[in-house]
Amino acid sequence: MSRTQLRAYVELSSAMVFVGSFVVASKVITTSFPVFLAAMLRFAIASAILLPMLLKAEHGFPSLAKKDVGILFLQAFAGNFLFSLFLLYGLKLTSAAESGIILGTTPVVIGLIALLFLREPLTLTRGIGMLIATLGIGAINSIGTAPSAGQESNPLLGNILVFGAVIGEALWTILGKAASGKAAPLTIASLTSFFGLLLFSTLAVYQARSFDFAAVPLQNWAWIVYYGVGTVGAYVLWYQGVSKVPAGTAGVFAGILPVSAVVLSNIVLKEPVLWSYWVGIVCVVLAIVLIARLQPDV
């Protein structure tokens, strides 16, 4: 393993630990904030940090072709807007632990997208990996789940919405790889965060008109700040890592997300870790290992 590969793997792993913690943060945030307002505040904080960093590093705004700006906008729409929308609404209906495990199927979804749109062959190993991951999701929903405090009584719908977030994240990874050859990681992180802010702003302003900001506990404001600042770290680390390895290889590291989410949901939210969760984790991780064997080196 080269030093470049090792650095990329550390960056991708660290980014996914951040994203796993976002599952827990989102679960707390949605108890106090409406979804669009919470997402807008997240990207407002991230943009307020990233854009000045970008202007300082590039000595002004970097020059990009219209096509590349379009790719970044589509990436923001899939990975920022749709991902946040599905995840935040899904977390209103299901637990953070279950959500984290379902999000860990992202490498499998990337494989399916590659099959359908990039015409990559569906090998026996890849097919087995997808089947095992599907069984893992089935374990979460059928073997038994633990409801969270205040959780609404529709975890199946919540899990479906979270899987919609998986599709958004998979598109985010593939489009991010396409953009990495056209722009620096900091540029991609800054512009996708800013586009995320724009996409959520209209409905967020509407929600803010009738929202009682003073009623939000200080602790939940702290989670909002963490969500925004953590987004900066996650995006910069991810785009730095994905620029050094193939998109499929980067996608494999999403397997770190469910472990992070399950552990943190137990520590922070006191959600019980049922044996069915571990069945789901083992299935997802095994699927990731199988698919990782198919990914080429840099």
152-186 pLDDT, tens digit each: 567 788 889 989 988 988 888 788 777 877 888 89
Could you give the angle at the alpha carbon of 77 between the alpha carbons of 53 and 49, nearest 5°? 15
Confidence label for 199 from pLDDT (cuts 50, 70 and 90): very high
pLDDT at 51 over 90: yes
Task: Please tell me the pTM assigned to this model.
Answer: 0.78
Computed over every residue of the chain, the mean pLDDT equals 81
Phi, psi of 47, rounded to the nearest 5 degrees? -65, -35
Q: Which residue has the higher pLDDT, 128 or 144?
A: 128
What would the pLDDT profile of 67-122 be if each residue is shown by its tens digit? 999 999 999 999 889 988 898 788 788 877 677 677 767 777 877 776 776 565 66
What would the pLDDT profile of 243-289 be if each residue is shown by its tens digit? 887 766 676 777 677 778 878 888 888 877 777 777 777 877 777 67
Q: How distant, in Å, are the alpha carbons of 90, 274, 275, 279 from that of 143?
A: 20, 10, 9, 9
pLDDT of amino acid 285: 74
DSSP string across 79-137:
IIIIHHHHHHHHHTTS-HHHHHHHHTTHHHHHHHHHHHHS-----HHHHHHHHHHHHHH
Q: How distant, in Å, are the alpha carbons of 54, 63, 79, 186 from that of 181?
A: 17, 14, 18, 13
pLDDT of amino acid 276: 73
Closest residue by Cα to residue 134 from 89, 164, 104, 113:
104
What the block records as the tokens of 180 is 């990495």
Confidence label for 234 from pLDDT (cuts 50, 70 and 90): very high
Residue whose token pair is 């995840």? 87
Question: 128-137, 140-149, 246-255, 280-289: lowest mean pLDDT where?
Answer: 140-149
Closest residue by Cα to residue 264 from 10, 23, 13:
23
pLDDT of amino acid 137: 62
Report how far residue 233's alpha carbon sits from residue 230's, in angstroms, rounded to the nearest whole number.
5
Report how far residue 249's alpha carbon sits from residue 298's, in angstroms, rounded to the nearest whole number.
9
Spacing of C-alpha 89 from chain mean position: 14
pLDDT of amino acid 109: 80
Number of neighbours of residue 291 by Cβ within 10 angstroms = 26
What is the pLDDT averaged over residues 17-24?
Answer: 87
Distant-in-sequence, close-in-space partners of 78: CB < 8 Å, separation ≥ 6: 167, 168, 171, 172, 175
> What secondary structure, in 3-state letters, does 17-68 show?
HHHHHHHHHHHHHCCCCCHHHHHHHHHHHHHHHHHHHHHHHHCCCCCCCHHH
